[in-house]
Every structure is written in structure tokens, then in C-alpha cells.
Amino acid sequence: MTAAKTVLVLGGGIGGIVAASLLRKRLPRTHQVVLVEREAQHVFAPSLLWLMVGARREHQISRPIARLEKGGIKVVHGEIERIEPNTRSARVAGQDISADYLVVALGAELAPEAIPGLAESGHNFYTLAGAQTLNRARADLRQGRLVVLVARMPFKCPAAPYEAAMLLQADLGKRGLQGNVSVDLYTPEPGPMPVAGAKVSAMVRQLVESRGVRLHTEHAIAKIDPSERLMHFENGATASFDLLAYVPPHRVPGVVQAAGFTGESGWVPVDRRTLETKFPGVYAIGDVTGIPLVTGKSLPKAGAFAHGEAEVVANNIVHAITGAGAPSSFDGHGACFIEIGDGRAGFGSGNFLAEPAPEVRLRPPGLLLHIGKVAYEKYWLYRWF
């Protein structure tokens, strides 16, 4: 019989939950699966866009992490103080946890403080608290300039700021305020979702601008004056705002960097097919990774990729422990819905590891695709909790 093994999963986001759940389902109970997460609640991040315009409430898009215990996963709540990749162990809230296999799924750390004045000036809709305060602020806005700002690249969910701008614009239309409030989007990108290719980028630009959103590309924010409500960009331009919704700078979590995982990109390099790091028996999945593409860009940070990577890693660990099945590899396929407001959504999908360039297509917006996104939200929360 195979000696009892322990698999330690760090992080309870999409990738961590999928990896831990599949491992627990497929491994005999003689083996232990441990999930470490500091938050008590899992929030389904794609639905924050709906919450920020009042279409969802917190209880509708969150579930207690502790529910995973009913399936046999050992859940440990606490802050990760140290990771020791050579011994596949971690210290959590003063407790040392050792394992035979380690999966790092800690995501990207949000760092609004990296831009002077950013946190004091607006609402970070990539967090539950920020989406909630933005929801209240947009309901009070009656005139002026509403700005959606992308602070730095890379950032997770490449479509999210464009969806946010279109949803906020649609909300203004519902409230009869489109003539009183303008919506502008500023981003350091050369165009929307450039990693998807020029054709998809142009299609997203057309969608955004057709909705009445003014798009300002190649505008990297330098600092913000909260008292004057004035943004200063690195290209010398300035712009005012009455309400600011922002995507903050992203960086690798400090505990991951301190453990020696990161490479030249500042993110965790992995084998792009197996997701194994330079440390044997240690894997990294999701937003914490940096996976280069043949175009020189990197694989987008998105839940669809974290999910697919988690499936591969879980399968391969199960195979390594039990011999069951066959090894699998990550194929680079990903997809996401793109909400445009008024009950319609588009859908982008494709193979991002394709050569000589990613093969991505965008289906035009429609009611059925919006229904599909709603259905997927319900499925996700039901399937994993």
C-alpha cells in the first residue's frame, strides 16, 4: 500500500479550491489534503462587477470556506508567515505544516499604496469592500465625471475594467443620467486586452466606445491629488474626476517572494505544461505565476486559467501518489464572459499557448451569453460549496 501522503494547498481562491477539492475527491482517505486560507469567506470575484452596480449582495456571491471541510478537506485559517519550498512546508499562525506535495495558489497581492493618492481617492472594485463602497457612491452621483482607472500592468481578469466601465455606463442610462455624467476609462495598455490579439482588442474597443465610454489608452498613472480630484499621468497629461473606480497595482505576495519563488518577471516561473516550479514536488497555479507566451506577453491572470491549471496539478499529484490514470498537461485554453450592460454579454475564448500566436475569438454580445454568465455563477457556487 502507498504510504500516507499530505498535499498542502496554499490559498482559497478559484485555483486553490478546485485543486484541493479534486485532490480530496480522487485520493483515498488515507492521504490528507490541507487548504490554508486567511479569509473566512470565499468571494466569487467575477460577480463583484454586478455587486458594484447593485445587481448582487454579498451573501449571494460568497460562501464560508469552512464548508469545504464537509468533503474531507482540512481547512486551516490564518496568515502564512513563511514558506519553505525545499521541505514543502509552511508556517501558518505559528503552526508548522509539512507536506509531500505543495501547491501555491496565493494569487496576486493588491497594492493601491504603490500609487501616491490612489487609495484615498477612489474605490478598489477588485475587493468586496471596494465594490460595496463604489455601489453606494455611484448611487449618489448625479453629475460630473466617472473614471475607471487601470493603475498598472499586469492585472487579473483583463476584461474587468472594460466591463466595469460599460456596466457603470448602463447604470447611468437606467437612472436617466447619461447626459449628466460621463464615463472615461484610462489604462496604460496600448489597447483593450492586447494579449488576445489585435482583432479581439479592436472589437473590445469598438464595444466600449459604442456604449459611450471614452477610452484613453497608454495613460500610466503617476500620482493622484485627492483634494483636487486630479490624476497625473506619466505622459504629462492630467485629468479630473468626480468618482474614481480603480484597478490597483498587482504584485506577488511578499511571503512568496521571500521564499525564493520569483523570477525575472517578478512572478513565479513554472513549467507551462505541468505548473511545477523549480522546486521538486512544488507547484504554482493561477495569478501568482508568470507564464511567458511566444508573443513576448504573459498568460493572462484569470480564473479560467487558474481552474484549468488546478485540474492538471490535481490530476498529476493523484497519479504520482496512486499511479491511477495518466499524467496530463495544461493546454492553454481559457474563456471569459464580457458584460456590456443592459442584460447582454460577449464571450471570448481560445488557446493562449498556440503558436505562432494565441488563437482567440470574441463572440458578439447577446442576451443568451449574459444568461450563460449568470448560470455559471450559480454553478460555481453550487459545484464547489
What is the predicted pLDDT for the residue at 199? 94
C-beta of residue 42 within 8 angstroms of C-beta of residue 385: yes
Mark whether 43 and 137 lie in a shared domain.
no
Residues 227 and 324 in one domain: no
Please write down the HEC assignment for all residues of 167-200: HHHHHHHHCCCCCCEEEEEECCCCCCCHHHCHHH
Give the residue carrying C-alpha cell 455601489: 135
**What whole-number distance in Å separates Cα of residue 361 and Cα of residue 200?**
7
For residues 236 and 267, state if they share a domain. no
Mean pLDDT, the chain cut into blocks of 10 residues (385 residues total): 90 97 97 97 97 97 97 96 97 96 98 98 98 98 97 96 98 94 98 94 96 98 98 98 98 97 95 97 98 93 96 98 95 95 96 92 96 96 95
Question: Both 91 and 124 in a single domain?
Answer: no
Same structural domain, 120 and 92:
no
Please write the tens of the pLDDT for every residue from 200-251. Answer: 999 999 999 999 999 999 999 999 999 999 999 999 999 999 999 999 999 9
Helix/strand/coil for 148: strand
**97 and 22, same structural domain?**
yes
Q: What pLDDT does residue 318 have?
A: 98
- Look at residue 351 and tell me if it is in a domain: no
| pTM for the structure as a whole | 0.95
| Domain-located, residue 180 | yes
- Write down which residue in 195, 225, 249 finishes a domain: 249
282 occurs within a structural domain: yes
CATH number at residue 70: 3.50.50.60
Q: Work out the end-to-end distance of the chain between its first and last CA atoms, rounded to an integer number of angstroms.
A: 31
Same-domain check for residues 96 and 146 = no
| CA gap 268, 309 in Å, rounded | 14
Let me know if residue 338 belongs to a domain.
Answer: no
Which pLDDT belongs to residue 1?
54
Is there a single domain that holds both residue 188 and residue 78? no
331 touches 353 (CB < 8 A): yes
- Do 196 and 135 fall within a single domain? yes
Helix (H) or strand (E) holding 338: strand 333-341
Q: pLDDT value at position 189? A: 97
Place of cell 519550498: 85
Same domain? For 224 and 240 the reply is yes
- Tell me which of 296, 312, 330 is where a domain ends: 330
Which of 125, 127, 126, 149 is closest to 137 using CA atoms?
Answer: 125
Residue 316's domain spans which residues? 6-108+252-330
What is the structure's pLDDT at 278? 97
44 residue type, one letter: F
Number of Cβ within 10 Å of residue 75's Cβ equals 18
d(CA 78, CA 384) in angstroms, rounded, equals 21
- 227 Cβ contact partners less than 8 Å away, ≥ 6 residues apart: none
Q: Please state, in angstroms and as integers, the Cα–Cα distance from residue 55 to each residue in 34, 49, 216, 374, following that order.
A: 35, 9, 27, 11
Which amino acid, residue 45? A
Grid cell at residue 240: 479630473
Q: Are residues 116 and 91 in the same domain?
A: no
Domain count, the chain: 2
- Give the up-direction half-sphere exposure of residue 328: CA atoms within 13 A in the CB hemisphere: 17
Co-location of 215 and 314 in the same domain: no
